[in-house]
């Protein structure tokens, strides 16, 4: 981009302009596809906007050179294959952008001049956060949801009706709504839900999302709606498409009607007649940005009077009556003080940038991810050049950016400030924690320590995984405590089996624990009791807890269901050397591929690791897992949702039990739900189930149903 950008538009020849328009058309089309169709942006929002502005400025100077495929005439990208298509009754448009306060004043001036109003005339505008998600149009007829469609290219979107039905904030039926009503708004994911989703994805070995927007898009655009149902998507309503009767005569009034129908509308939406106050609200929203709990990328202003909106109408892709006032990208320059290498559970060496602390968008940043050695060297996973090929060296001045909740990253390096003699970073080839070789397998972007559990970093991370939720989940023994016990000379926990042998020990051990800092009589006893409680544990939990690379929670479930008992599983994996019948059986399990099988076999044949697994198994009573009981189980094949608090079991336990009976447990109620188990405090899920006519029972009813009462 840089070389051509040096040509200023004022001095450009026609030939320059033509070439530049062509380049920008390609750049923006590629970025559009990456963003909208593949949910994987390759250009930052700021660069995207800059390219669009440059394109528009060149077109303004050379109107005759405007291309037939000009990016200024496009909204989004054509729908992806795989979804049904829906032609929008009313096109779904984009918004023009304002970047400065002056741009906002000009917006107001344009509107006044269009409407023939003078500065003395009052025009009211609404201001509301611009949610960084993806837009959705939901059509209701006679109060019933008919379909939901993504924006697509504005004219034709993707049919995501089943997926939208799983979103709690989207009512299935409306009362008092016009016969035809298309509600439009933004599907998004909260920061909290995004972090939890990525945690689950990591545990399962699934795709980890770069930011909440991508997670929301990837979750909504699932061909399998049951996956969407497991993803905590939210929805803010802020606009409408086709309507059989007007909702109101103002924007604010119409949004209030949407709220009355049961939609979430943004609480920061306000109306102003004074432009200065409108802009002040923008700055106030900007200040709240970091604490809202979801990503926003600007503030949208709309003319409040719907009669005026109708008069103002649209340009080719944007309304004249609205504009998005974008926030400046959150970035800052600081010095890279050091590059540290962290070693993860599976031995991955992850470089972390230690920075001179700097405030980026209201948050102090002192660490940033450096991903892997190629990234530091200026290459992406495919070997293509990034940051114009600039490498990152200790002592460099680097530009850090934050997009929402995502871990800060480094976008640029200032070569002019690089100290003479600064040396290129040499990525370690031995593990900084245990000095074992760190090797990089072909096709892997990551270098890994080969030390296995003799590497203290891997051992601690494995222990943290072992006690995590979804695995052993021992109350009172979290990541922090495990780390402490690992380094404890008197009461060491160096591997999972030690947790149980610790609790095996005599009264003296308990006494020693009680005397430690942070532990008292009660907490020490509770810990021992909690450990004891987990000696009896289902097979799937044990398999997952082992923390074997590529074996996430759902793979562990599959393996457990397939082999049924620990003995059968252990014997099978031990025998499964490639090309044996045991290997064939392992890879034939739906959802277990050669890579996962290889990883399992490696863990069970590595001497130290195997010995540690055996020591653990000897401490436990591993409960067999039944294959989905399609015969006899009253809940086999049913989709069950648990809500409210359960008093006789934990949520995790209820879920495991239901799954072992062949039920599918989902996190949200949809038309696919067969049964809702509602404990005290059940709220919106119970209401939704009632709306959908789904059978709802309480915890006792559930226990009775499955024969556990
Ligand atoms: S109004 C006719 N309001 O931003 C224009 N859009 O860049 C209707 N967006 O496609 C859109 N928050 O996906 C509007 N409060 C808000 C919004 C919002 C996010 C999205 C929407 C739109 C895009 C345009």
Alpha-carbon torsion (196, 199, 204, 205), positive or negative: positive
| Confidence grade of residue 183 (pLDDT, cut at 50, 70, 90) | very high
Taking a C-beta distance cutoff of 8 angstroms, is the pair 187, 134 a contact? yes
Query: Of how many residues is the chain composed?
Result: 709
Mean pLDDT score of the chain: 89
Query: Average of pLDDT values for 655-675?
Result: 80
- Which tops the pLDDT comparison, 629 or 25? 25
Mutate to test the pocket of ligand 1, among 130, 258, 296, 313 (most ligand atoms within 8 A of CB): 130
* Nearest by Cα to 325 from 278, 273, 277, 256: 278
319 lines ligand 1 (CB under 6 A): yes
* Nearest by Cα to 421 from 393, 397, 391: 393
The residues assigned a catalytic role are 130
- Which tops the pLDDT comparison, 127 or 58? 127
Tell me the per-residue pLDDT of 496-550, one tens digit each, with 9 for 90 and over: 999 999 877 677 777 888 877 778 888 888 898 999 999 999 999 999 999 999 9
**Separation of alpha carbons 287 and 146, rounded Å:** 39
Mutate to test the pocket of ligand 1, among 32, 52, 131, 304 (most ligand atoms within 8 A of CB): 131
* Nearest by Cα to 2 from 29, 28, 20: 20
**Separation of alpha carbons 111 and 96, rounded Å:** 13
| Centre of ligand 1 from the C-alpha of residue 131, in Å | 7
640 lines ligand 1 (CB under 6 A): no
**Mind spelling out the 3-state secondary structure of 595-663?**
HHHHHHHHHHHCHHHHHHHHHHHHHCEEECCCCCCCCCCCCCCCEEEEECCCCCCCHHHHHHHHHHCCC
pLDDT of residue 42: 73
Looking only at the bridges linking them, the beta strands covering 639-643 and 675-678 are parallel
Alpha-carbon torsion (103, 104, 109, 114), positive or negative: positive
**Separation of alpha carbons 195 and 202, rounded Å:** 11
Q: Is the pLDDT of residue 38 over 70?
A: no
Mutate to test the pocket of ligand 1, among 36, 135, 255, 325 (most ligand atoms within 8 A of CB): 135
Instruction: List the structure tokens of 245.
Output: 């009767």
pLDDT of residue 341: 97
Query: Average of pLDDT values for 149-175?
Result: 93
Close Cβ partners of 54 (under 8 Å, ≥ 6 residues apart): 5, 9, 20, 24
pLDDT of residue 81: 56
Residue by residue, DSSP assigns 517-572 as TT--HHHHHHHHHHHHHTTEEEHHHHHHHT--TT--HHHHHHHHHHH-SHHHHHHH
pLDDT of residue 2: 40
| Centre of ligand 1 from the C-alpha of residue 135, in Å | 7
| Centre of ligand 1 from the C-alpha of residue 95, in Å | 6
- Which tops the pLDDT comparison, 664 or 446? 446
Q: Collapsing DSSP states into helix, strand and coil, what is residue 364?
A: strand
* Nearest by Cα to 595 from 628, 558, 550, 546: 550
Q: Collapsing DSSP states into helix, strand and coil, what is residue 125?
A: strand
Tell me the per-residue pLDDT of 241-266, one tens digit each, with 9 for 90 and over: 999 999 999 999 999 999 999 999 99
Close Cβ partners of 184 (under 8 Å, ≥ 6 residues apart): 92, 135, 136, 137, 138, 237, 238, 239, 240, 241
Tell me the per-residue pLDDT of 353-407, one tens digit each, with 9 for 90 and over: 999 988 786 567 889 999 999 999 999 888 899 998 999 999 999 999 875 445 7
pLDDT of residue 453: 86
135 lines ligand 1 (CB under 6 A): yes
Tell me the per-residue pLDDT of 304-347, one tens digit each, with 9 for 90 and over: 999 999 999 988 788 999 999 998 877 889 999 999 999 999 99
95 lines ligand 1 (CB under 6 A): yes
């Amino acid at each position: 981009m840089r070389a051509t950008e040096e040509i200023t538009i004022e001095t450009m020849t026609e030939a320059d302009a033509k070439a530049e328009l062509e380049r920008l058309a390609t750049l923006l089309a590629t970025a559009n596809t990456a963003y909208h169709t593949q949910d994987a942006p390759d250009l930052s929002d700021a660069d995207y906007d800059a390219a669009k502005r440059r394109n528009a400025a060149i077109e303004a100077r050379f109107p005759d050179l405007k291309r037939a495929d000009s990016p200024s005439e496009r909204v989004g990208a054509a729908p992806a294959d795989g979804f049904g298509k829906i032609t929008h009754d009313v096109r779904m448009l984009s918004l023009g952008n304002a970047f400065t306060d002056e741009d906002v004043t000009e917006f107001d001036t344009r509107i006044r001049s269009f409407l023939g109003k003078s500065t003395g005339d009052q025009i009211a505008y609404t201001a509301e956060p611009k949610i960084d998600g993806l837009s959705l149009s939901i059509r209701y007829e006679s109060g019933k949801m008919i379909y939901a469609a993504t924006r697509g290219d504005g004219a034709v979107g993707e049919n995501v009706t089943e997926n939208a039905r799983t979103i709690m904030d989207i009512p299935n039926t409306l009362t008092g709504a016009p016969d035809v009503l298309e509600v439009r708004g933004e599907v998004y994911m909260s920061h909290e839900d995004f972090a939890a989703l990525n945690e689950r994805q990591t545990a399962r070995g699934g795709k980890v999302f770069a930011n909440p927007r991508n997670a929301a898009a990837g979750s909504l655009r699932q061909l399998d709606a049951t996956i969407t149902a497991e993803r905590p998507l939210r929805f803010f309503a802020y606009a409408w498409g086709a309507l059989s009767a007007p909702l109101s005569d103002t924007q604010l009034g119409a949004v209030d009607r949407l709220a009355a129908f049961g939609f979430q509308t943004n609480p920061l939406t306000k109306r102003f007649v004074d432009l200065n106050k409108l802009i002040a609200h923008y700055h106030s929203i900007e200040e709240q940005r970091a604490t809202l709990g979801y990503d926003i990328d600007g503030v949208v202003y709309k003319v409040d009077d719907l009669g005026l909106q109708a008069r103002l109408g649209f340009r080719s892709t944007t309304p004249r009556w609205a504009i998005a006032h974008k926030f400046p990208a959150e970035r800052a320059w600081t010095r890279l003080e050091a590059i540290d290498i962290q070693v993860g559970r599976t031995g991955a060496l992850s470089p972390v940038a230690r920075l001179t602390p700097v405030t980026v968008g209201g948050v102090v940043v002192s660490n940033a991810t450096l991903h892997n050695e190629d990234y530091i060297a200026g290459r992406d996973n495919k070997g293509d050049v990034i940051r114009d090929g600039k490498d990152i060296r200790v002592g460099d001045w680097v530009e850090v950016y934050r997009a929402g909740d995502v871990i800060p990253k480094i976008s640029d390096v200032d070569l002019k400030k690089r100290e003479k003699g600064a040396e290129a970073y040499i990525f370690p080839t031995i593990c900084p924690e245990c000095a074992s070789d760190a090797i990089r397998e072909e096709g892997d972007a990551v270098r890994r320590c080969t030390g296995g559990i003799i590497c203290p970093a891997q051992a601690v991370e494995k222990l943290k995984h072992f006690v995590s939720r979804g695995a052993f989940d021992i109350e009172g023994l979290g990541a922090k405590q495990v780390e402490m016990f690992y380094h404890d000379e008197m009461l060491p926990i160096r591997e999972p089996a030690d947790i149980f042998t610790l609790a095996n020990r005599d009264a003296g051990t308990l006494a020693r624990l009680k005397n430690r800092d942070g532990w008292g009589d009660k907490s020490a006893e509770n810990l021992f009791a909690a450990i004891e409680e987990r000696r009896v544990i289902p097979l799937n939990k044990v398999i997952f807890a082992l923390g074997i690379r590529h074996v996430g929670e759902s793979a562990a479930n599959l393996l457990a269901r397939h082999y049924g008992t620990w003995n059968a599983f252990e014997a099978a994996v031990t025998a499964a050397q490639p090309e044996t019948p045991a290997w064939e059986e392992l890879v034939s399990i739906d959802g277990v591929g050669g890579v996962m099988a290889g990883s399992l076999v490696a863990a069970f044949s590595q001497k130290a690791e195997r010995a540690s697994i055996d020591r653990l198994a000897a401490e436990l009573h591993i409960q067999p897992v039944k294959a989905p009981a399609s015969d006899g189980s009253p809940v086999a094949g049913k989709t069950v949702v648990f809500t409210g608090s359960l008093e006789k079991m934990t949520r995790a336990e209820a879920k495991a039990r239901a799954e072992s009976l062949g039920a599918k447990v989902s996190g949200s109620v949809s038309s696919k739900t067969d049964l809702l188990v509602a404990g005290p405090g059940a709220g919106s899920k119970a209401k939704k189930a009632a709306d959908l006519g789904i059978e709802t029972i309480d915890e006792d009813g559930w226990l009775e149903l499955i024969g556990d009462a």
